[in-house]
Chain A
Amino acid sequence: MRNLFENGESGERFVEVWALLNGDYPDEKALDEAQKLLDGVKEKDAEWHYVQAAVDFYKRFYYDCRKRLKKAIRLDPENGKYRAALAELEETVKSAKEAGKPLPEGKWDGCAEGCCEACCESLC
């Protein structure tokens, strides 16, 4: 998945959290630290939910990430950044589902293209 939160920033307020999240993929320790910083914030506004969604994303809590982004949009419907992140998350997961969807019963896709036809022709 393209990193939805790559080079994320929210101005002065969450500068420490983004410092932990940006750069290389954050490890467990950095995520714990970021979570602690977020837990300490009193005003849980739209931007807070957006930053929390970023932490959830890196923890691979995509379900929680989506919930947070939806909440951020509810609190600030005009913000395009939140909408773009939610759309990207949903689109990527959906495309993986389509690609991995099991074939309908009876449809065989195990051979190389044209191979079944060639077999049938040689047998008939």
Chain B
Amino acid sequence: MFGYVKYDFVNLRIKDLMLYKAMYCGLCKGIARSCGQAARIGLTYDVTFLSVLLHNITATDVRVEKQNCFEHRIKKRPIAAVDELTEELGALNTVLVYYKLTDDILDKKRGRSRRVWFKKGYKRSKKRYPELVQIVENYMKEQAKAEKAKSSSPDMAADPSACMMQTLSRHFLKEKASPSTDRLFYALGKWVYLIDALDDYEKDLKKKNYNPFVLAYGCKTRAELMERFGEDVAFLFDTTFYDMREGMSGVKFYFNRELTDNVILRGLPAETERVFKGAPPQKMSGKL
């Protein structure tokens, strides 16, 4: 579920890499502030990108300052100052990791010891941001229900995750939410669910876990799936890119949007290609 939302390094400008790094470190500090130190180990690229995107659309200026941090105690580095939005996104990061691990415990009977690190942060988030936690909780239940129904439609299977992202965007954007932002965030949530399902194809098949691609196509391997039905699968992902582009064209960005464009228009398609080919995940270039 996490780690697929990446930038495309080859086409990234240095200023945007610096901004991404600052936002990444800023979110880490935001997690510490809203959920405590332990929850920082759950820091994700996905919520970092959400932070970049939401700061831009809500016109929340990012102040980058040289600071020390837990990992970089000697040399100061540019870090985005923690604002209210980053703190709440830190809570979102913790809550999403907490629910992902809860899901692992229910599905695979593992992850219990790891979840302990996030329990306190989850409780703090629930107390401070009840509405946010309620959104995640409701859609996680909807997702579990959809998976129990064992639909072979990837569109239907991804709908609760997509709706969760759309509702979260409305929560954060408030009066700046629009049909265009709905469309963009819905497609982002859908893409994250689908790419994870496709990447886990063989694992889910082996463990008999629910996976819409397994039910829809029944191939023995992902390679066979791509060989026989690659055009169909590609169409599915192209529809999410289509909605993202259409959504973006109607969204007002208040600051430079090159970083968000890089991730959405290049990073996500590149990651999709990687999963299509069955290549191993790569660490993002440009040390974070």
Do the two chains bind? yes
| Residue B11, interface by CB 8 Å | yes
Q: How large is the interface on A (under 10, 10 to 19, 20 to 34, 35 or more residues)?
A: 20 to 34
Given the interface contacts A93-B239, A109-B11, does A100 sit within 8 Å of B265 by beta carbon?
A: yes
Distance, CA A99 to CA B244, complexed state (A): 12
Q: A92-B242, A93-B235, A96-B242 are in contact. Are A60 and B266 (CB under 8 A)?
A: no
When the two chains form their complex, are residues A99 and B245 in contact, meaning their CB atoms are under 8 A apart? yes
Flag if A63 contacts B245 (CB, 8 Å). Answer: no
Q: Which of B11, B187, B245, B269 contacts A110 (CB 8 A)?
A: B11
Determine whether B8 belongs to the interface, using a CB cutoff of 8 Å to chain A.
yes
The reply to whether A56 and B155 contact each other, CB–CB distance below 8 Å, is yes
How distant is B261 from chain A, measured CB to nearest CB, in Å? 10
Does B228 sit within 8 A of A, measured CB to CB?
no
By the criterion CB–CB under 8 Å, are B242 and A61 in contact?
no
**B13 and A110: CB pair below 8 A?**
yes
* A5 interfacial by beta-carbon distance below 8 Å: no
Give min CB distance, B7 to chain A, whole Å. 11
Q: Does A1 contact B (CB under 8 A)?
A: yes
What's the least CB distance linking B88 to chain A, in Å? 26
Whether B156 lies near A61 (C-beta < 8 A) is yes
Residues on B with C-beta less than 8 A from A66 are 235
Specify which chain A residues have a CB less than 8 angstroms from the CB of B246 in the assembled complex.
1, 96
Who on chain A is nearest to B264 by CB?
A100
Q: Mark B229-262, 1 if CB is under 8 A from A, else 0.
A: 0001001101101110110000000000000000
Give every chain B residue within 8 A of A59 (Cβ-Cβ).
155, 159
- Cα A97 to Cα B276 with chains together (Å): 15
A105 CB-CB contact with B under 8 Å: yes
Q: Count the B residues whose beta carbon is within 8 Å of the partner chain — how many? A: 27
Bound-complex Cα distance A56 to B179 (A): 18
Task: Count chain B CB atoms within 10 A of each CB in A63, A93, A100, A102 and give the residue with the most.
Answer: A63
Closest partner residue, chain B, to A28 (CB atom): B163
A102 adjacent to B155 (CB under 8 Å): no
CB distance from A85 to the nearest CB of B (A): 15
Give B192-214 interface residues, CB cut-off 8 Å to A.
Answer: none
B238 and A102 contact, CB distance less than 8 A: no
CB distance from B12 to the nearest CB of A (A): 9
Q: Is the CB of A60 within 8 A of B186?
A: yes
Q: A62-B239, A93-B242 are in contact. Are A100 and B155 (CB under 8 A)?
A: no
In the complex, the chain B residue whose C-beta lies closest to that of A66 is B235
Interface assignment of A64: CB less than 8 Å from any CB of chain B? yes
Any chain A CB within 8 A of the CB of B149?
no
Determine if A102 and B266 form an interchain contact, defined as CB atoms under 8 angstroms apart.
yes
CB distance from B243 to the nearest CB of A (A): 6
Q: Is B74 among interface residues, defined by CB-CB distance under 8 A?
A: no
Say yes or no for A94: interface residue by CB 8 A criterion: yes
Q: A61-B155, A61-B156, A93-B239 in contact; A103/B245 too (CB < 8 A)?
A: no
Beyond the given A61-B156, A93-B239, A100-B245, please list 18 additional residue pairs across the A-B interface where CB-CB is below 8 A.
A25-B179, A60-B155, A61-B153, A61-B159, A63-B153, A63-B155, A63-B239, A64-B153, A64-B156, A66-B235, A93-B242, A94-B238, A96-B241, A97-B241, A100-B269, A102-B8, A102-B269, A103-B11
Chain B residues at the A interface, C-beta cutoff of 8 Å: 8, 10-11, 13, 153-156, 159, 179, 183, 186-187, 232, 235-236, 238-239, 241-243, 245-246, 265-266, 269-270
CB-CB nearest 4 A-B residue pairs: A61-B155, A62-B239, A96-B242, A102-B266
